[in-house]
């Protein structure tokens, strides 16, 4: 095993500590390697997009400004840049070519040039949509998958979104109607930020492109700050800067030439309908749909592979990808030097079983201090999911070998895979205990010694008991987050409290859940996981980490056919009594050995508690220094100092709260200059 140093997060090739490939031929595994499916006729590509609309006849778009905004997200599509400007409208795209490498330049135009388009993402059913459009008389100028959006829009307007299967964010200029149309995919795999200015409307794949515009203010949005402190991320439609918003998933927006805006939802996740099919039948259907989804996502003219943790989701995707490949699949894993957090042995075992060409690396605590400032710059907004650090490094490891990877994102949300599902059932039982018994349990929990091991019992029990008696929505968000309202009342400095006093950190989540109409605590958990956590945490992390090095991540579980089938199944089929994902485990039996599908969920944990007491101690002390916080004026220095002191002395585990503050300060250093 060779040892190398981790390079800075610049998108250039980096060296890492890697275990040599574990590779056996498919024949030696006694599995029949299937030939790769015929290649699509679509030009699939990832990119970043930018648009400027000067509203109300304010003037013409500056081509130079548009170019500079596109340059800010060149990492998303380093192969080429395309710009189109005509009077008050300008569109730009940064392109990463994946299939049919010679064509498909953006912006695209329809037959008469009246409609122009820039798009980020993939339309997986582009061939089927193209055939229908050709039959209707449309002519195509390229093989790009995104051209189907143009012609489908010509036929159906925004209703064309129902025809599209994929991950996407796009901006379309409808010249005849003098209207800008923008849209995001159903689950939010691809991002879209926008800003309203007095005389212009701006949009971009990442916030950093909007910040290039001289009129976009960096004034903090106090409501967004409250959301960040509560959830560890800023949920749509909020953005950390007051001038900026995010288009929510499954929505489209129209902006008229005079600046009038409308936002509409075009898809709602289905609810369970009808009687439950037999579990074996449902499991077989899930495998069939997932197999077709994987097959549609391994079509490309560049090297591809799979992110493999050794858990059931990524292992199932990798097994199906191996079926669709005539060569061993490249797989990638990451681990930690803290043993209770390290999943590499599970990933390696799955790789041996599935005959993959396996690559792995290790995150060491001593490397984190130098890497975290760069990770904070990758994410445009403060983002405190600690797995963002290994996600960035895993993306770099994969990008050394491939341009496209498949992931298991969405499996937990669709098939009730998170421990909170079990926690909600335990909470319902706990609430039925006599008050005296509950007090005794809580007192005993407080006497437990503090541990910083992965999923330490004392940490999990204290968080569970603290909020178990609350309504399902609130306790779920409190379990997952950092600073609840009463915590923020102590954390925020006086002026910051005055600005944020009307902000409810749970309002956005309540609105999202209410629209879905959950009936049980388990339904609430699924709704929050799918509509809130997946879109604004997991998929944000996947997009920013991967696109920082121009790596494309595809999520087969988020195929519409897979997701809608799963969500229409009664929850009792998808959730277990005390074990997660029973249906998916059953589905995996025909593809994976029992040691994989029986293994309890581990999760992508990061040893932040131990790091903060060890290799990150000095960084935390410097960033959370009372004088620095006092000058910043957002957080109460004595309260923060008390949190840090108790954690460093080992008498409490405040890792979530401290990590949330640490990542905010690192982000502020990158985007606020302090």
Which of 59-68, 158-167, 294-303, 556-565 is predicted with the least confidence, judged by mean pLDDT?
A: 294-303
Q: What is the CATH number of the domain that holds 145?
A: 3.60.20.10
Average pLDDT, the chain: 88
**In this predicted structure, what is the pLDDT of residue 501?**
77
Measured distance CA(183)–CA(293) in Å, rounded: 22
Could you give the percent of the chain with pLDDT greater than 90?
70
pLDDT confidence of 320, banded at 50, 70, 90? very high
Which residues, listed in sequence order, are joined to residue 342 by a DSSP beta bridge?
A: none
The verdict on residue 449 lying in a domain is no
The verdict on residue 233 lying in a domain is yes
Range of the domain at 195: 45-265
**In this predicted structure, what is the pLDDT of residue 341?**
86
Q: Which of 16, 29, 47, 416 is catalytic?
A: 47
The verdict on residue 237 lying in a domain is yes
For the question of residue 16 being annotated catalytic, the response is: no
The verdict on residue 199 lying in a domain is yes
Measured distance CA(1)–CA(19) in Å, rounded: 6
* pLDDT tens digit sequence for 31-66: 333 333 333 434 445 589 999 999 987 789 999 999
* pLDDT tens digit sequence for 562-593: 999 999 999 888 887 667 899 999 999 999 99
Measured at the alpha carbon of residue 532, what is the angle toward residues 527 and 537, in degrees to the nearest 5? Answer: 135
pLDDT at 15 over 50: no
Give pairs for 217-222: CB < 8 Å, separation 24+: 217/241, 217/242, 217/243, 218/671, 218/672, 219/243, 220/672, 222/496, 222/499, 222/500, 222/503
* pLDDT tens digit sequence for 602-629: 666 899 999 999 999 999 999 999 999 9
The burial of 66, by beta-carbon neighbours within 10 Å (0-12 exposed, 13-18 middle, 19 or more buried), is given as buried
Average pLDDT over residues 523-527: 92
**In this predicted structure, what is the pLDDT of residue 27?**
34
pLDDT confidence of 7, banded at 50, 70, 90? very low
The closest of 62, 95, 332, 25 to 215, measured between CA atoms, is 62
* pLDDT tens digit sequence for 448-499: 566 555 556 666 777 778 888 899 999 999 999 999 999 999 999 988 888 8
**In this predicted structure, what is the pLDDT of residue 13?**
27
* pLDDT tens digit sequence for 510-519: 988 988 888 8
The verdict on residue 244 lying in a domain is yes
Q: Say which residues have a Cβ less than 8 Å from residue 360's Cβ, sequence separation at least 6.
A: 18, 19, 332, 333, 334, 335, 344, 347, 348, 397
The verdict on residue 513 lying in a domain is no
Number of folded domains that form the chain: 1
The verdict on residue 135 lying in a domain is yes
pLDDT at 428 over 90: no
Q: Are 90 and 49 in contact (CB under 8 A)?
A: no
Which of 314-323, 403-412, 461-470 is predicted with the least confidence, judged by mean pLDDT?
A: 461-470
The burial of 365, by beta-carbon neighbours within 10 Å (0-12 exposed, 13-18 middle, 19 or more buried), is given as middle
The closest of 306, 368, 376, 369 to 337, measured between CA atoms, is 368
pLDDT at 539 over 70: yes
Measured at the alpha carbon of residue 60, what is the angle toward residues 55 and 64, in degrees to the nearest 5? Answer: 120
* pLDDT tens digit sequence for 332-367: 999 998 888 888 999 999 999 999 999 999 999 999
The verdict on residue 177 lying in a domain is yes
Q: Strand order of the sheet with strand 304-307?
A: 357-363, 330-336, 304-307, 404-406, 552-554
Q: Where are the alpha helices (DSSP H) in 157-278?
A: 207-210, 222-231
């Amino acid at each position: 095993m060779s040892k190398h140093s981790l390079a800075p997060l610049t998108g250039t090739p980096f060296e890492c500590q890697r275990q040599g490939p574990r590779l056996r031929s498919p024949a030696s595994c006694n599995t029949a390697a299937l030939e790769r499916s015929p290649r699509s006729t679509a030009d699939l590509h990832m990119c970043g997009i930018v648009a400027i609309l000067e509203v109300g006849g304010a003037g013409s778009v500056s081509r130079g400004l548009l170019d500079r905004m596109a340059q800010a997200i060149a990492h998303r599509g380093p192969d080429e840049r395309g710009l189109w400007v005509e009077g008050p409208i300008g569109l730009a795209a940064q392109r990463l070519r994946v299939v049919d490498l010679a064509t498909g330049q953006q912006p695209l135009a329809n037959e008469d040039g009246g409609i122009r388009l820039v798009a980020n993402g993939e339309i997986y059913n582009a061939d089927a949509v193209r055939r229908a459009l050709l039959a209707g008389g449309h002519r195509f100028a390229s093989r790009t998958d995104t051209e189907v959006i143009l012609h489908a829009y010509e036929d159906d307007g925004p209703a064309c979104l129902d025809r599209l299967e994929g991950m996407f964010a796009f901006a379309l200029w409808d010249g005849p109607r003098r209207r800008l149309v923008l849209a995001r995919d159903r689950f939010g795999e691809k991002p879209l930020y926008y800003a309203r200015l007095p005389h212009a409307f701006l949009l971009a794949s990442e916030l950093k492109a909007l910040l290039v515009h001289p009129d976009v203010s960096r004034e903090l949005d106090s409501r967004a700050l409250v959301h960040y402190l509560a959830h560890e991320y800023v949920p749509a439609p909020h953005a950390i800067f007051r001038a900026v918003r995010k288009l929510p998933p499954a929505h489209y927006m129209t902006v008229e030439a005079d600046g009038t805006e409308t936002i509409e939802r075009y898809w709602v996740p289905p609810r369970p309908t009808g009687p439950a099919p037999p579990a074996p039948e449902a499991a077989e259907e899930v495998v069939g749909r997932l197999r077709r989804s994987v097959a549609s996502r391994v079509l490309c003219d560049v090297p591809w592979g799979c992110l493999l943790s050794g858990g059931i989701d990524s292992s199932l995707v990798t097994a199906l990808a191996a079926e669709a490949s005539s060569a061993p699949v490249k797989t990638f894993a990451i681990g930690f030097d803290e043993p209770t957090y390290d999943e590499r042995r599970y990933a390696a075992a799955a790789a041996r079983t599935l005959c993959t060409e396996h690559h792995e690396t290790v995150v060491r605590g001593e490397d984190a201090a130098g890497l975290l400032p760069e990770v904070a710059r990758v994410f445009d907004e403060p983002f405190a999911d600690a797995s963002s650090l290994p996600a960035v490094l895993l993306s770099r490891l994969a990008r050394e070998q491939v341009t496209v990877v498949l992931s298991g994102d969405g499996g937990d949300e669709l098939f009730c895979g998170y421990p909170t599902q079990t926690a909600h059932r335990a909470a319902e039982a706990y609430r039925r205990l006599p008050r005296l018994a509950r007090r005794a349990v809580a007192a005993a929990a407080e006497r437990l010694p503090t541990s910083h091991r992965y999923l330490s019992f004392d940490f999990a029990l204290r968080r569970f008991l603290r909020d178990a008696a609350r309504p399902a929505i609130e306790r779920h968000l409190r379990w997952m987050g950092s600073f609840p309202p009463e915590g923020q009342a102590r954390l925020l400095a006086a002026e910051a409290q005055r600005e944020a006093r009307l902000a409810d950190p749970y309002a956005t989540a309540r609105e999202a859940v209410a629209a879905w109409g959950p009936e049980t605590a388990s339904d609430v958990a699924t709704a929050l996981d799918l509509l809130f956590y997946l879109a604004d945490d997991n998929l944000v992390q996947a997009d920013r980490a991967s696109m920082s090095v121009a790596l494309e991540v595809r999520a087969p579980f988020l195929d519409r056919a897979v997701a809608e089938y799963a969500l229409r199944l009664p929850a009792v089929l998808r959730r277990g009594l005390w074990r997660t994902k029973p249906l998916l485990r059953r589905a995996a039996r025909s593809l994976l050995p029992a040691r994989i599908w029986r293994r309890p969920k581990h999760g992508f944990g990061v040893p932040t508690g131990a790091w903060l007491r060890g290799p990150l101690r000095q960084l935390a002390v410097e960033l959370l220094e009372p004088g620095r916080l006092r000058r910043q004026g957002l957080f109460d220095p004595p309260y923060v100092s008390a949190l840090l002191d108790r954690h460093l002395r080992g008498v409490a585990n405040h890792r979530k709260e401290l990590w949330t503050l640490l990542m905010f300060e690192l982000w502020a250093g990158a985007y606020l200059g302090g």
